[in-house]
Each structure stands twice: as C-alpha cells, then as structure tokens.
Amino acid sequence: MKTRTILILIALISFGLGVHADETSCEICHSKLKGRLSQPVTQWKNSIHQQNDINCANCHGGDPSAKNMKAAHSRSKGWIGKPGPIQIVKLCGTCHANESFMKKYDPNSRTDQLKNYMTSNHGINIMKKEDGRAATCASCHGAHDVLKAMNPRSHVYPENVVDTCAKCHGDKKLMAQFDISGNEVADYKSSVHATALYKKHDLSAPTCNDCHGNHGAAPPGAASVEKVCGTCHVMNQKLFDESPHKEWDEIGLRGCVECHSNHAIKPPTDAMLSTDKGVCLNCHDSTEPAFKTMEAMYKTLTGLETKLMETREMVNNAAEKGMLMDDAMLKLQDAKTAYIKSRTATHKFSSDYLDHIAKAALVDVTNIQKLAKERLMEVTKRRTSFYWFGGLFFILLILLGLKIRSMEK
Ligand code: HEC
Ligand code: HEC
Ligand code: HEC
Ligand code: HEC
Ligand code: HEC
Ligand code: HEC
Ligand code: HEC
Ligand code: HEC
Ligand code: HEC
C-alpha cells in the first residue's frame, strides 16, 4: 500500500516538474551546441508540442535514439533537415489536417487550417506559385515556440497579432514587390479599433485576423472582407441594407469602407455630415436630394447634442444646490442611449427615419428639463421663504431689543 502511494507521488512530482521519461539524443546533443542549433531546444521545451510529446524527430525525421550525428541525421530514417516553406506547410498539415489524430488530443480540435490556408493569398503564394516570400504556418505561429492560440504569450494572441503580421506587412520594401502599400499596420494602429484593443483591453475589438480570417481570405460567414464589419456592427449593417445605398455592391462600391476606410477608422463625428466636409460630398453634389438629407441629419444630431448638454448642466446645477436629482440622472442615461441610437440611425440615410428615432431622445430630454426646472424653482422658493423668515426674525429681534430697552428704562 505504502509503496504504491510513494510511486504515485513520484509520478505526480515528475509530471509537475515536466520531467519526461526519455530525453532524445537530438535534445541532448543540440542543447550543448550554440546559437541557431541550440535555441530550438530551449524554445521547444516551453511549447505546446513538447507538452504533448511531439518531439524533434516528429518534425525533422531522423533517429532520436542514435548517439552520433551521422546516424541521427540519417536520410534512411526519414531525416529532412531544416524544412523549406512548402515542406513546412505540408509538415504542420500532416498532423493538423488529420482529424482522427488531433481529436485524440482534444475532441474539440479544429482541423480546417490547412484547407483554409490553401485558399488565402499566403497559401497560393507558397504552395501554388512556389514564391516563398509569403507566410507559412511557422511565420505566424513560430517553429519551436508554438503555444496555444489563447495563451497571452502566443504570437497569435489578439494583442500580439499586429506585431506578427508587421514582420512582413510593416516592411514597405517587401510589400512594394507585391503592389501592397505597406501602410496597413501604421493605419490600423491609429484606428478606433486599436484604441479599444490596446488602451481599453477590449478583446471584442478586431485585430488583423478578425477581419481577414485566421487562415482563409475572409472568415466563414462573410462573403468578402468588406462585409465583415456587419458581423459585429449588426444594427449599422441592417440599416444600411434598408437604405438607398443597399445596391452599392452591384456598382462596385465597398459598403462601410467607403465612408469609414478599412484600417485607419477614426472616431465618427458630426463633421462627417457637415456641408463643407461631409462624407456624402464624395459622391453627391449640392443639387441632389442626398445633400438635403445630409443637411437635415446634421441639424437633427447637432440639435440633439446641444439639448443634451444643456440638460446635463441644468441637472448638475440643481444637484449642486442640494436637490435630490437621482431620478433625473437615470432619465439622462436613457436620453443618452436614445442619442446613441440616433447616431446609428443615420445609416438608413433618410432624414425622416432619423427624426423618428431622435424623437424618443427629444421627449426624454424635454421631460428631464421640465423636472430640473421644477427642482430649481423649488430651490428659489426655499431661498425666498428663507429670506422672508430671516427678515421677519430680524424685525422680531429689533422689536425685542426695543422692548428690553424700554423695560430697563
Ligand atoms: C551528436 C550530436 C547531434 C545529434 C545526436 C543530432 N544533431 Fe542535429 N545537428 C548537429 C550539428 C553539429 C548540426 C550542425 C551541422 C550540420 O548541419 O551538419 C546539426 C544540425 C541540425 C539541423 C539543422 C540542419 C540545417 O540544414 O540547418 C537540424 C534540423 C537538426 N540538426 C535536427 C536534429 C534532430 C531532429 C536530431 C535527432 C533525430 C538531431 N539533430 C540529432 C548535431 C546533432
Ligand atoms: C513542430 C515541428 C518542429 C519541432 C517539434 C521541432 N522543429 Fe526544428 N524546425 C521546425 C521548422 C518548421 C524549422 C524551420 C524554421 C524556419 O525556417 O525558420 C525548424 C528549424 C530547425 C533548425 C534550424 C534552425 C535555423 O535557424 O537554421 C534546427 C537546428 C532545429 N529545427 C532543431 C530542432 C530540434 C533540436 C528540435 C527538438 C528539440 C526541433 N527542431 C523540434 C519545426 C520543428
Ligand atoms: C497569417 C498568419 C497565420 C498563418 C499563415 C497560419 N496561422 Fe494558424 N492561426 C493564426 C491565428 C491568428 C490563429 C487564431 C488565433 C485566435 O483564435 O484568436 C491561428 C490558430 C491556429 C490553430 C489553433 C486552432 C484554431 O484553428 O483556431 C492551429 C492549430 C493553427 N492555427 C495551425 C495552423 C497551421 C497548421 C497553419 C498552416 C497550414 C497555420 N496555422 C497558418 C494565424 C496563422
Ligand atoms: C506530429 C504532429 C504535429 C506536427 C507535425 C505539428 N503539430 Fe502542432 N500540435 C500537435 C498536437 C498534438 C498539439 C496539441 C493539441 C491540443 O492540445 O489540442 C498541437 C498544437 C498546436 C497548436 C496549438 C493549438 C491550439 O489549440 O491553440 C498550434 C498553433 C500548432 N500546433 C501549430 C503547429 C505548427 C505551426 C506546426 C508546423 C511547424 C505544427 N503545429 C506541427 C501536433 C503536431
Ligand atoms: C512572412 C511574411 C508575412 C507574414 C508574417 C504575413 N504576411 Fe500577409 N502577405 C505576405 C505577402 C508576401 C503577401 C503577398 C502575397 C502574394 O500576393 O503573392 C501577403 C498577402 C496578404 C494579404 C492579401 C493582400 C492582397 O490584396 O493581395 C492579406 C490580407 C494579408 N497578407 C494579411 C496578413 C495578416 C492578417 C497577417 C498576420 C496575421 C499576415 N498577412 C502575415 C507576407 C506575410
Ligand atoms: C476592421 C477590419 C480590418 C482590420 C482590423 C484589418 N483589415 Fe486589412 N483590410 C480590410 C479591408 C476591408 C480591406 C480592403 C479589401 C479590399 O479592398 O478588397 C483590407 C485590405 C488589406 C490588405 C490589402 C491592401 C492592399 O493594398 O491591397 C492587406 C495587406 C491588409 N488589409 C492587411 C492587414 C493587416 C496586416 C492588418 C493588421 C495590422 C489588417 N489588415 C487589419 C479590413 C481590415
Ligand atoms: C470583431 C468585431 C468588429 C469588427 C469586425 C469591426 N468592428 Fe468596429 N468596433 C468594434 C468594437 C468592439 C469597437 C469599439 C467600441 C468602443 O470602444 O467604443 C468598434 C468601434 C468602431 C467605430 C467607432 C464607434 C464609435 O462610436 O466611436 C467605428 C466607426 C467602427 N468600429 C467601424 C467599423 C468598420 C467600418 C468595420 C469594417 C471595416 C468594423 N468596424 C469592423 C468591433 C468590430
Ligand atoms: C461612395 C459614394 C456615395 C457616398 C459617399 C454617399 N452616397 Fe448616397 N448614393 C450613392 C449612390 C450610388 C446612390 C444611388 C443613386 C441613384 O440610384 O440615383 C445614392 C443614393 C442616395 C440617396 C437616394 C436619393 C438619391 O439621391 O437618389 C440618398 C438620400 C443618399 N444617397 C444620401 C446619402 C447621404 C446622406 C450620404 C452621406 C452620409 C451619402 N448618400 C453618401 C452613392 C454615395
Ligand atoms: C455613406 C457614409 C457611411 C457609410 C456607408 C457607413 N457609415 Fe457609419 N457613419 C457615418 C456617419 C456620417 C457617422 C457619424 C454620425 C454622427 O455622429 O454624426 C457614422 C457613424 C458610425 C458609427 C458610430 C455611431 C454608432 O452607430 O455607434 C459606427 C459604429 C459606424 N458608423 C459603423 C458603420 C458600419 C459598420 C457601416 C457599414 C454597415 C457604416 N458605418 C457605413 C457614415 C457612414
């Protein structure tokens, strides 16, 4: 009984320390070498592959029990040496596209990476054109330091993806060879999405692969990469599809991107509807009905904003003067939500529709203003009665003083 417990303890401790029964000759010899020959061992030791006993020979072939280099690097034992781009993709695919193999490790494993990769410009460049300059599986995941995708230190973790793509897409010289501007990374870093991801740590904001897909050209469910905005901004897309612009596709216009751009998306403001700088002017001139729509929408939204600001001031003012304004503060939140809805409503590009939605916000605002006015009036009333009482009290004091003096006399 006792020996069994001890054995189990030893097994648990070795497991905890990551001691694996049989270190291969590849690891032993390579860990004593230098630079590019030993680094793979150090990196591999912390990888997801090491944790699952996928070792050097599983990827490079050779004989992991042979002590001398010639025998270990034996071609007759399947030795491939350092794989080239095409070999790398085939190598990773051998396991990762094999469903029955991968399910043994995790029943939820996906095995569609290779299939999707083959449809991407990266896959076409490497496998069909045999060009070699685009990304292989190892360009994005690493060769030896591969980690679970959701590990915060992984090269493909949301906050690290940009740097991974930037190795090539930030290299203007390389990108020029393919007629790609190479501005994508810098543009993205200036966007509302990058601010949300890096400053607010909002993992629901998109990084490169959320719009372009992890492996394919565009993620499943999005007909093309321009359509991907609507998968998150559902309401904006729905309204756009009901608007006079719904047929843009057919004339080669690119949806959301026409007004917001794709990478350098700025925080939208009312200026996007102003008569001098409005985005509508890119396609419509001042003689078209669209111009009137733009003008009217601008007026509604800026009007609403001014009213909302005024109201907030009134409520704060009353609260500072000691009135209980909790109910008004709550209603102010509702009005703010209604205002945000109105901004979204612009995407039907109809001033009637916007006015209809903005009405809810206006009703809220009017009610709050009424409430705040009443409370402020109460403050005035209380002050007035305070002065009245104060005055009366003062007169009483004087009378009392006079009385005392006359009594003393
Ligand atoms: C006794 C030492 C020794 C053993 C055992 C050994 N290697 Fe090597 N390996 C070397 C040396 C030295 C080099 C560099 C010289 C060369 O490429 O011939 C090298 C090079 C390599 C390279 C790079 C080849 C290239 O083209 O750059 C790979 C990959 C490699 N080994 C993998 C393995 C694997 C896998 C095993 C186990 C099956 C293994 N090695 C076993 C010593 C060893
Ligand atoms: C998951 C597959 C995988 C495993 C496991 C793996 N390698 Fe590699 N190895 C690769 C790939 C892919 C490359 C090519 C990387 C590149 O082109 O940048 C490579 C390259 C190398 C090189 C050449 C490095 C260079 O910069 O020239 C050496 C040496 C090497 N591996 C040794 C090892 C050793 C030793 C182990 C075990 C400790 C090991 N590899 C485990 C996939 C693997
Ligand atoms: C252009 C970069 C890139 C290339 C090339 C690439 N991947 Fe990925 N891979 C990613 C990203 C990004 C993720 C997902 C991260 C996430 O889920 O947020 C991922 C996720 C994965 C996962 C985790 C499971 C999953 O599907 O989400 C596996 C396994 C994987 N990739 C294998 C491969 C294989 C095999 C290849 C080559 C055929 C490859 N990858 C090529 C970027 C790449
Ligand atoms: C000999 C089989 C084998 C080869 C070859 C192989 N892998 Fe793996 N890989 C695995 C196994 C097994 C796991 C662990 C799966 C798990 O835990 O769900 C794994 C895990 C991964 C993960 C983490 C998956 C996740 O769920 O986040 C990535 C990424 C990955 N491998 C990429 C690669 C890349 C890139 C290559 C080629 C350089 C490669 N693999 C080659 C077997 C292999
Ligand atoms: C190893 C370098 C490398 C890495 C890393 C890399 N790419 Fe690429 N990518 C390229 C090259 C080169 C091309 C052009 C291929 C061609 O046209 O033959 C390309 C093409 C593309 C294209 C198609 C552009 C077009 O219109 O032709 C997209 C989109 C893209 N990459 C996105 C990404 C994303 C997202 C990442 C990171 C997750 C990434 N790439 C990582 C080298 C890379
Ligand atoms: C919010 C979605 C989104 C994000 C995030 C995003 N892209 Fe794009 N990207 C697009 C759209 C849309 C296009 C335009 C496609 C078209 O015109 O056909 C595009 C085009 C591209 C192109 C082709 C450009 C050309 O000049 O041909 C590359 C390369 C690219 N993106 C790389 C990246 C990289 C790298 C990142 C991360 C730094 C990234 N993208 C982030 C949506 C996005
Ligand atoms: C993966 C989900 C996702 C995708 C895809 C996506 N977005 Fe976003 N978007 C977000 C999130 C999250 C925010 C940040 C909200 C915040 O913090 O205010 C945001 C913010 C914005 C904003 C600023 C909103 C504001 O009130 O300041 C605009 C404009 C925008 N996105 C447009 C786009 C466009 C255009 C595309 C397609 C090219 C797109 N988004 C694709 C999730 C997404
Ligand atoms: C990228 C070009 C483009 C931009 C930018 C654009 N539109 Fe349009 N708009 C069109 C096209 C094309 C039509 C359809 C024209 C037709 O059928 O006569 C259209 C039609 C309309 C219509 C239907 C009435 C009409 O003139 O036929 C309205 C209203 C409209 N747009 C409003 C706007 C507003 C408001 C903006 C700015 C917020 C805007 N548009 C920005 C291209 C654009
Ligand atoms: C014709 C131009 C145009 C197109 C096309 C367009 N937008 Fe907008 N968008 C605007 C304008 C103008 C505003 C700013 C309204 C304001 O604040 O005054 C805006 C604001 C936004 C906002 C911030 C307000 C909100 O709804 O939270 C988001 C997010 C947004 N757009 C996403 C999208 C998405 C997603 C698409 C594609 C389905 C899209 N836009 C298509 C012109 C456009």
Q: What is the pLDDT of residues 155-181, one digit of tens each?
A: 999 999 999 999 999 999 999 999 999
Average pLDDT over residues 26-33: 96
Distances (CA, A) of 55 to 22, 98, 144, 356: 11, 18, 10, 65
The CA-atom distances, in angstroms, between 295 and each of 236, 272, 355, 381 are 20, 11, 13, 43
For the Cβ of 133 lying below 6 angstroms from any atom of ligand 5, the answer is yes
Q: What is the average pLDDT score of the chain?
A: 91
Structure tokens at 41: 């061992």
Residue bearing the CA closest to ligand 4, atom 27 = 148
Whether the predicted pLDDT of 107 surpasses 60 = yes
User: Does residue 395 register a pLDDT over 60?
Assistant: yes
| Residue 290 alpha carbon to ligand 8 centre in Å | 6
Question: Which among 29, 74, 80 is the best mutation to test ligand 1's pocket, defined by most ligand atoms within 8 Å of the CB?
Answer: 29
pLDDT bracket for residue 385 (50, 70, 90)? confident
Instruction: Give, in degrees to the nearest 5, the angle at Cα 362 between 274 and 353.
Output: 60
Q: How large is the average pLDDT for residues 67-92?
A: 96
Kindly tell me if the per-residue pLDDT of 191 is higher than 90: yes
Question: How buried is 4 (Cβ within 10 angstroms: 0-12 exposed, 13-18 middle, 19+ buried)?
Answer: exposed
Which ligand number lies closest to the CA of residue 178? 5
How far does the centroid of ligand 5 lie from the alpha carbon of residue 122, in Å?
A: 6
Of the listed ligands, the closest to the CA of 93 is 3
**Which two tokens mark 365?**
């605002």
What is the rounded average pLDDT of the residues 62-68? Answer: 95
Rounded-to-integer distance, Cα 182 and Cα 169, Å: 6
d(CA 219, CA 210): 8
Contacts of 274 by beta carbon, 8 Å cutoff, 6+ apart: 298
**Model's pTM, two decimal places?**
0.91
Q: Work out which ligand 3 atom sits closest to the CA atom of 149.
A: 15
Q: Is the CB of 258 under 6 A from ligand 8?
A: yes
> Ligand 2: distance of its center to the CA of 212 in Å?
28
Pocket of ligand 4 (CB under 6 A): 48-49, 52, 54, 58-59, 88, 91-92, 94-96, 105-106, 109, 137-138, 141, 143, 146, 148-149
In this predicted structure, what is the pLDDT of residue 5? 52
- Site to probe by mutation for ligand 9, drawn from 210, 260, 275 as the one with most ligand atoms within 8 Å of Cβ, is 260
Position 20 pLDDT exceeds 70: no
Mean pLDDT of all residues in 104-114? 95
- Whole-number Å distance between alpha carbons of 359 and 192: 29
The response to whether residue 37 sits with its C-beta less than 6 Å from ligand 1 reads yes
Over residues 188-196, the mean pLDDT reads 98
How many Å apart are CA 21 and CA 23, to the nearest integer? 7
Distance of alpha carbon 397 from alpha carbon 403, whole angstroms? 10
- Asked whether the beta carbons of 275 and 298 are under 8 A apart, the reply is yes
Is the CB–ligand 1 distance for residue 60 below 6 Å? yes
pLDDT score of 18: 41
Q: What is the pLDDT of residues 217-241, one digit of tens each?
A: 776 666 778 889 999 999 999 999 9
